[in-house]
Amino acid sequence: MKPLSWSNKYQTGIAQVDEQNKRIYDEMLEIYEALSAGMDAEVINEMVVRLSSSCRVHLLVEHLVMDSCKYTTDEGHRNKYEIFAANLDKFSVPKQLGDRSGMMNDFVDLMNWYLSHIIDDDVQYKQCLLETR
């Protein structure tokens, strides 16, 4: 199973959010490629920690944008990110990586969820922001 490719359809039109979404996708792709290449679990753990940090910053920025346009489903958005973060944490345990194929498939699922989230959720608050300008 391979991850979906990045495309312009994932852009919200909010420059800072778009840059962060792309960076997060690129970091996820690096982890996928590291898993594919058989890199050491410790290296992958460091990559996951960096990705987790990028996601926390991104969530903060998104919520500032949402607050600026009084987006009403902010809490639901936060809950989805908490689930995402919990799933991401599964890959940060420094241990010997056993079933890499299974881990890669799980990681692809996580990547694809993230891209779907951009289209399904982030685009909604884009509309809110545009309506308040």
Q: Per residue in 55-104, pLDDT tens?
A: 888 888 877 877 777 777 656 777 777 777 777 777 765 455 666 777 78
**Contact assessment for residue 91 and residue 31, using Cβ atoms and an 8 Å cutoff:** yes
Within-domain flag for 66: yes
- Asked if pLDDT for residue 15 goes beyond 80, the answer is yes
The CATH number assigned to the domain holding 74 equals 1.20.120.50
Within-domain flag for 121: yes
Query: 56-82 burial, b if ≥16 CB within 10 A, otherwise e?
Result: eebbeebbebbeebebeeeeebeebbe
Within-domain flag for 3: no
What's the domain count of the chain? 1
Structure confidence at residue 127 (pLDDT): 73
Cα atoms in the Cβ-side hemisphere of radius 13 Å centred on 68: 15
Among 15-19, 22-26, 45-49, top mean pLDDT goes to 22-26
Q: Which domain holds residue 95?
A: 14-132
Within-domain flag for 6: no
Within-domain flag for 37: yes
Structure tokens, 102: 């299974």
Within-domain flag for 102: yes
